[in-house]
Amino acid sequence: MKFVVTIFEPAAERALAAIRAIASTHDMVEVRVDAFGGGAVDLAALRAATAKPLIVTNRGGAPVDFASAYGAGIDFVDVELGHDPGPRRDRVVLSHHDFESVPDLEALAREMRAAGCAHTKIAVTPRSFADNARVLATVAPGMTLIGMGGRGLYARILAPFFGSELVFTGNAAPGQFSLERALEIYGGPVPRHLFALVGNPAAHSGSPAIHNRRFRQQGVAAAYAIFETDDFLDVAEPFARGERFAPAGLAVTKPFKEEALVFAARIGAAIAPNAAEARAVNTLVRTPRGIIADNTDVDGFETLIAKTNAKHAAVLGAGATARAALVALRRAGIDATVFNRTAGKLDARPLEEFARRDGELVINTLPMHRDDADINAVYGAQPAANDGRPLLEAQAIRQNALFLEGTR
């Protein structure tokens, strides 16, 4: 695979500055001139800004002038299928974008490869697990397959592991990762086992970097992706059946942890004590001893709580993550009071009373970060002080061990 940094800036001067600012390892640069109007562009200045192979793209319009581009030393011109690829097909990235669905990929790939261009790129919009699986099944040498949008993240992340040629990074499209994040995710052999986070929203998750790093350290041919959906069963059913390209294990996040417990019971999975006590599942994995349903949020909270000397805790929130925290607190012998916006669940007191709390340890499981919490569960796309990443890392230790059992 080759890492392509896409530059999508509203002005040519900013595009040049962004090219020069690329610090991490990369293989190519793409400049989206449509971001600043697609009109007259100083191609020589773009060429001078990097020694890396350079793609110039005018998405949504006619390709940039071939003679001007090649005369300025531009390596490749992106041409959307249906436009004339010009005189130098060996210097063309032939692209097709479907922003609504997944078309007949076999026929489309055959048509595009017959054009004989240097690179062939197909970007489509999956709506289901089946759509994502079709994208992955189309990957072939010399081709780039991309799933667009949140529902296409599964294929977007996994396709390069199976040989999709170009990994486009940057901020030009929903679901596109930064170069730094992509470098954390990729590496290792072609995966024999797949794993995924399932949730909504989930695109911001740091889990792919954590688990793929651990797989590489263990020398395991496995890969971890994201499956963002509003239908848990769309991926859970293929998982349970062991379908091609289905995950062998699922990390479950909101809003599906309770539904995952119901699903686990229905399919006869072995429900571990953590999941039973928390009444929620955040890990499902197919293993030689059958499907296991567990809750490693409990383990993560136990790890972080062990670093304190607290005797009493205040827990904000009353959902699945709060219940996992309460299991860990109970096992540690720490009394807890729950505060929630809706009183009643878990005997919660009104959130307005939190200011009068009695407790030196504050655990926040609500969707908004709190600076006064000792442990936050929530985190965003960018790391922040006192966010939920320590909990994410802590729970991933045992979760990854469960996933490794699913590779045996």
Q: Active-site residue among 257, 307, 311, 345?
A: 257
Whose tokens are 């990929």? That residue is 105
312 CB-near residues (< 8 Å, 6+ apart): 334, 335, 336, 337, 358, 359, 360, 361
Token output for 335 = 């009394």
CB-based contact 372:362 (threshold 8 Å): yes
CB-based contact 229:198 (threshold 8 Å): yes
Q: How many residues does the chain have?
A: 408
Whose tokens are 């890396």? That residue is 52
Compute the distance between CA of residue 81 and CA of residue 65 in angstroms, rounded to an integer. 16
Token output for 307 = 């670093």
Token output for 23 = 């610090």
Residue 20 exposed, middle or buried by CB count within 10 Å (0-12, 13-18, 19+): exposed
304: nearest Cα among 294, 317, 313: 313
- Concerning whether 257 is annotated as a catalytic residue, the answer is yes
Q: Strand, coil or helix: what is 188?
A: coil
AA identity, residue 180: E
Which residue numbers are catalytic?
257
